């Protein structure tokens, strides 16, 4: 999977990002709901400096029955073993771990990018890739969020937390453009405000709030999304995370 189209220099005129950015959100809603009604919604959460504490607070607010897949990118040194899955598992109700490349997405789990590897989504699977750096980073916040936008559209959510510089801003803008939910930690609360400020400027997120308030926003969005998917598909119900389809017959 080539990730070069997510580089900031390709945001406006590059391919295929220009095609993604110009695609009407309503078209994305139609096509994505048809393809994704039986898959978990996806929440991409990205952070850099100061992000560990913000991530602890965020996952601590997720309920045990959280129906979406949570994917996390945190900038760390390539040679540093990551304790983040252990930290996040202890901080909240959901298990956290590094995924295997090609692992099927499932609700109620937190998948954490391994050191020096991109974490992205492709169709119904997580990908762990040793491809070139994006926006100066591997793992890259932009790479994760742009993949969420491309493959999950209006059933994708992006969250930008504390960090330096601006990785994640272009990706969150893609999530917003494709009809997904975009949230940013309040820069006044963030330990490092540059990443949240850049995301606010570029993505025009629906919510900018203290990190402790973001899980409830996402849960409310998921509740509304269930009803929206039912209405658009004309079925009695839709599932997000279990292994059995529960849609009623038309």
| Residues with active-site annotation | 48, 75, 167
DSSP per-residue letters across 42-71: EEEEEE-TTHHHHHHHHHHTS-TT--SEEE
Strands 125-129 and 118-122: antiparallel
Among candidate residues 23, 108, 100, 104, the one with its CA nearest the CA of residue 69:
108
CA distance 127 to 79: 20
DSSP per-residue letters across 60-101: HTS-TT--SEEEEEE---TTSPP-HHHHHHHHSSS-EEPPPT
DSSP letter for 208, please.
Answer: E
Write the CB contacts of 165 (distance below 8 Å, at least 6 apart in sequence). 48, 136, 194, 195, 198
Task: For helices 51-60 and 84-91, give the axis angle rounded to 10 degrees.
Answer: 40
Tokens 């040679």 belong to 79
Beta bridge partners of 44: 71, 158
CB atoms within 10 A of CB 204: 14
CA distance 51 to 49: 5
DSSP letter for 28, please.
Answer: H
């Amino acid at each position: 999977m080539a990730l070069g189209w997510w580089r900031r220099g390709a945001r406006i005129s590059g391919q295929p990002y220009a095609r993604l950015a110009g695609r009407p959100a309503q078209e994305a809603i139609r096509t994505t709901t048809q393809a994704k009604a039986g898959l978990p919604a996806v929440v991409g959460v990205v952070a850099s400096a100061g992000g560990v504490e913000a991530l602890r607070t965020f996952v601590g607010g997720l309920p045990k029955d959280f129906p979406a897949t949570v994917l996390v990118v945190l900038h760390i040194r390539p040679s540093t073993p990551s304790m983040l899955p252990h930290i996040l598992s202890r901080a909240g109700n959901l298990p956290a771990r590094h995924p295997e490349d090609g692992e099927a997405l499932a609700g109620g789990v937190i998948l954490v990018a391994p050191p020096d590897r991109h974490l992205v989504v492709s169709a119904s699977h997580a990908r762990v890739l040793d491809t070139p750096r994006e926006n100066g980073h591997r793992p890259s916040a932009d790479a994760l969020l742009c993949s969420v936008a491309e493959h999950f559209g209006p059933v994708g959510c992006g969250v930008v937390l504390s960090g330096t510089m601006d990785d994640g801003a272009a990706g969150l803008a893609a999530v917003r453009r494709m009809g997904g939910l975009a949230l940013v930690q309040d820069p006044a609360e963030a330990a490092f405000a540059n990443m949240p400020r850049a995301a606010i400027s570029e993505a025009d997120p629906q919510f900018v709030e203290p990190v402790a308030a973001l899980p409830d926003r996402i849960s409310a969005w998921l509740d509304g999304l269930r009803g929206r998917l039912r209405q658009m598909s004309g079925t009695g119900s839709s599932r997000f995370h279990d292994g059995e389809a529960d849609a009623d017959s038309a």
